[in-house]
């Protein structure tokens, strides 16, 4: 083969690509050879890391599942419907992708300090005059409205307050801040944006014609989505789930800020790497990192097998 200008151009491009891949191979190779397989197994077998692995797998599955539940309707809407302000909505859906991860965590933390956030976490009270509410369903004593001073025990106000408590039902909230549910929420808010992108791309590539024919055959729009679009989009759904899962697995900033890094409670694999690094245990951090690389490669293989592109 003679090296004419065209070939020279392709050769240069191939060298750039090869250079990039070699750089990555060197990075992973250096990490992999830092310690021995025996030390990886020892680290991965420890109680804390096994717990963090288990939590990572469970929270990633939950976050990816929730992300997919959101991504299917949003992706379908964005792919199939033209409406005013669509380009703005499209840009808004990408916000979690472009926001610095720590900012996402901070936004979550601040949101749950607002009135709405506190109601979500702490629940709310409903007055039910004429009905005596069982003790376990009443608000916690002392019962007082926000902004009022505490009642003195044995006072007239306290007696009146106890009477009011009898007729008040407490609807419990769902705590997120510094909880395991907070880990799932932090993973979900970022992973959902990636799942939505994938589902939108999937529906964009599927012809709308079969759904239109289904409408003429007697389907409502929802039935056309359920019976025609979703079965056709199943590979895209697998890809969206995997991408959301992989994204959740690598999530660190929002989790650290919003859910904390408490060992055996909110510690997931990226948190483990950070915790081990912070105490100078580089071998453990390397072992967990390599385990995460292996999981990420596995997900990439599954996504490629579905025919979708990440």
Partner 1 sequence: MIQLDHISWKAGGRVILAEVTIAIPANTYAVLMGSTGCGKTTLLEILCGLRKPTSGRVRLDGVDVTDLEPRERGIGYVPQDLALFPGLRVREQIAFAPKLRGLPPAEIEARVKRLAEQFGIVPLLDRLPDRLSGGEKQRVALARALAAQPKLLLLDEPLSALDEGMRAEAVSLLQKVQQEHGLTVLHVTHSSNEAAALGHLQLRMSGGRLEALQD
**Interface ranges with partner 1 (CB under 8 A):** 207, 209-210, 212-220, 223, 227-228, 231-232, 234
Specify the residue, 109 or 237, whose C-beta has the smaller distance to partner 1: 237
Distance of CA 23 to the CA centre of its chain: 30
Shortest Å distance, C-beta 237 to partner 1:
13
Minimum separation from the CB atom of position 217 to partner 1 (A): 4
Q: Report the residue number, 44 or 215, with the smaller CB distance to partner 1.
A: 215
Rounded to a whole number of angstroms, the minimum distance from the CB of residue 139 to partner 1 is 49
Phi, psi of 124 (to 5 degrees): -150, 165
Report how far residue 81's alpha carbon sits from residue 211's, in angstroms, rounded to the nearest whole number: 13
Q: How far apart are CA 166 and CA 162, in angstroms?
A: 7
Q: How far apart are CA 78 and CA 15, in angstroms?
A: 39
Nearer to partner 1 (CB atom), residue 60 or residue 233 = 233
What are the helix and strand counts (H, E) for the chain?
A: 16, 2
**CB within 8 Å of 15: residues ≥ 6 apart:** none
Residue placing its CB nearer to partner 1 in the complex, 20 or 226 = 226
Instruction: Report the nearest approach of partner 1 to the CB of residue 82 (Å).
Output: 11
We find the least distance from the C-beta atom of residue 54 to partner 1, in angstroms, to be: 35
Give the integer Cα–Cα distance in Å for 73 and 280: 46
Angle at the Cα of 231 (from 228 to 235), degrees rounded to 5? Answer: 140
- Give 47 or 207: the residue with its C-beta nearer to partner 1: 207
What tokens appear for 231 in the block?
Answer: 């079965």
User: How far apart (Å, rounded) are the C-alpha atoms in residues 55 and 50?
Assistant: 9
User: Which string of DSSP letters, residue by residue, matches 200-224?
Assistant: HHHHHHS-SHHHHHHHHTT--HHHH
Tokens standing for residue 199: 């589902």
Residue number with CB closer to partner 1 (24 or 83): 83
Task: Report the C-alpha gap between 266 and 282 in whole angstroms.
Answer: 21
The distance of closest approach from Cβ of residue 239 to partner 1 in the complex, given in angstroms and rounded to an integer, is 16
Which one, 228 or 268, has the nearer CB to partner 1? Answer: 228
What is the closest distance, in whole angstroms, from the C-beta atom of residue 89 to partner 1 in the complex?
22
């Amino acid at each position: 083969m003679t090296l004419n200008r065209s070939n020279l151009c392709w050769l240069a491009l191939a060298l750039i690509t090869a250079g990039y891949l070699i750089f990555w191979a060197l990075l992973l190779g250096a990490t992999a050879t830092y310690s021995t397989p025996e030390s990886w197994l020892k680290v991965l077998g420890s109680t804390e890391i096994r717990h963090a692995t288990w939590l990572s797998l469970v929270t990633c599955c939950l976050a990816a599942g929730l992300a997919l539940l959101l991504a299917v309707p949003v992706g379908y809407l964005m792919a199939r419907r033209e409406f005013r302000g669509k380009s703005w909505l499209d840009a808004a859906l990408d916000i979690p992708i472009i926001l610095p991860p720590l900012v996402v965590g901070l936004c979550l933390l601040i949101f749950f300090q607002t009135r709405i956030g506190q109601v979500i976490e702490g629940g709310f009270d409903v007055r039910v005059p004429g009905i005596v509410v069982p003790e376990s369903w009443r608000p916690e004593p002392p019962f007082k409205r926000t902004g009022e001073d505490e009642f003195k025990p044995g006072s007239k106000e306290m007696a009146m307050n106890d009477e009011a408590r009898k007729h008040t039902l407490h609807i419990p909230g769902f705590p997120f801040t510094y909880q395991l549910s907070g880990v799932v929420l932090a993973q979900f808010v970022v992973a959902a944006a990636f799942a939505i992108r994938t589902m939108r791309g999937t529906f964009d590539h599927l012809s709308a014609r079969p759904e239109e024919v289904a409408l003429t055959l007697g389907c409502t729009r929802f039935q056309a989505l359920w019976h025609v679009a979703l079965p056709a989009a199943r590979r895209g759904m697998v890809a969206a789930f995997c991408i959301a899962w992989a994204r959740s697995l690598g999530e660190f900033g929002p989790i650290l800020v919003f859910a904390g890094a408490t060992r055996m409670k909110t510690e997931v694999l990226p948190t483990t790497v950070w915790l081990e690094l912070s105490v100078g245990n580089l071998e453990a951090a390397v072992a967990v990192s390599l385990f995460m690389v292996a999981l990420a490669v596995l997900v990439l293989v599954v996504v490629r097998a579905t025919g979708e592109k990440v």
